[in-house]
Amino acid sequence: MIDHILFDLDGTLADTADDLANALNSIRLKHGLTSLPNHIVRPTVSLGANAMIRLAFDLEKGNTGFESIRDEFLNYYRANIAIKTRMFDGVENLLLTLENENIPWGIVTNKPTWLTEPLLEAMSLNKRASCVISGDTLKQRKPHPAPILHACKLMQSNPMTTIYIGDAQRDIEAGHRAGTKTLIALYGYINVDDNPADWKADGMVSSPVEIYDKLSAFCD
């Protein structure tokens, strides 16, 4: 029986792509480049800032200028972190249902604390989550299982009766390695070249509305 729920943040709970794309394009314009369309940027959001800089500036970590551009991008994003960001349709009703049924839920994200906290506060989620594990809470980050196991410890949950929901392969790998059930959020930031069926999750959903039914199915 599933009695605790853990979510990834970007691409699972929150649709942050527009604000991240705006920040990325603002820095591109500053450096004399044209804007990238959102549909090009969107699939990289769940892969993190390094992947977004690689896409937008053809720079790899360690290249000259990478760190300074990354800092410009993240600082701009922090200053404009929740202009267009919203919970995906259906997430609020899902969270209310979980809360009404006393099913604890938490967040495990690779987003650093200095970005996670203001985003959750802006979305009024910071006091609702039973735990929030950011990318720098521990030394390890997903796909390492430690962040999920730490979340389970804080929630006093058994990984075997916990489910982790995310939209990236590393989310599913982290859940597998931690011993939780896993669910793929197909509505998230999945690249056209990805094949989620190969990730071998316990289930997939095309919208947040389907999540509760999936949870119920695990309990049958």
CATH number at 102 reads: 3.40.50.1000
What's the chain's Rg over C-alpha atoms?
17
Phi and psi at residue 7, to the nearest 5°: -120, 145
**Both 116 and 157 in a single domain?**
yes
- One domain, residues 11 and 36: no
Last residue of some domain: 40, 62, 79?
79
32 and 99 within one domain: no
Provide the pLDDT for residue 216.
80
Are 128 and 42 in the same domain?
A: no
Q: How many CB atoms lie within 10 A of CB 43?
A: 19
Into how many domains does the chain fold?
Answer: 2
Phi, psi of 107 (to 5 degrees): -125, 135
pLDDT class of 219 with cuts at 50, 70, 90:
low
Residue 165: pLDDT above 80? Answer: yes
Three-state helix/strand/coil letters over 128-173: CCCCEECCCCCCCCCCCCHHHHHHHHHHCCCHHHEEEEECCHHHHH
- Is 10 a catalytic site residue? yes
Give the pLDDT confidence score for residue 185 in this predicted structure.
Answer: 97
Confidence of residue 218 (pLDDT cuts 50, 70, 90): confident
Strand, coil or helix: 164:
strand
Instruction: Write out the two tokens for 44.
Output: 């990289």
Same domain, 26 and 134: no
Which of 50, 79, 108 is the endpoint of a domain? 79
Cα distances (angstroms) measured from residue 169 to each of 132, 186, 197 = 20, 11, 10
Structure confidence at residue 191 (pLDDT): 87
Answer yes or no: is pLDDT of 217 > 90: no
Same domain membership, residue 113 and residue 72: no
Output 110 or 46, whichever has higher pLDDT: 110
Which among 10, 19, 167, 171 is annotated as catalytic?
10
132, 117: one domain: yes
Residue 102 has pLDDT above 80, yes or no: yes
From the list 8, 15, 19, 167, the catalytic residue is 8
pLDDT of residue 215: 86
Tens digit of each residue's pLDDT (9 = 90 or more) over 4-14: 999 999 999 99
Q: Among residues 64, 79, 94, which one ends one of the domains?
A: 79
Do 212 and 109 lie in one domain? The reply is yes
Query: What is the domain range of residue 52?
Result: 17-79
Q: What angle do CA 6, 87, 28 make, to 5 degrees?
A: 105
pLDDT above 80 (res 208): yes
Are 32 and 9 in the same domain?
no
Residue 197 has a pLDDT of: 95
Domain match, 115 and 126 both: yes
> What percentage of the chain exceeds 70 in pLDDT?
99
105 and 169 in a single domain? The answer is: yes
- 139 shares its domain with 198: yes
CA proximity to 55, closest of 82, 35, 78: 35
Q: What is the pLDDT of residue 99?
A: 97
- Give the mean pLDDT of the chain: 95
Among residues of the chain, what percentage have pLDDT more than 90?
93
Using an 8 Å Cβ cutoff, are 104 and 68 in contact? no
Q: Is the pLDDT of residue 127 over 80?
A: yes
How much is the pLDDT for 46?
84
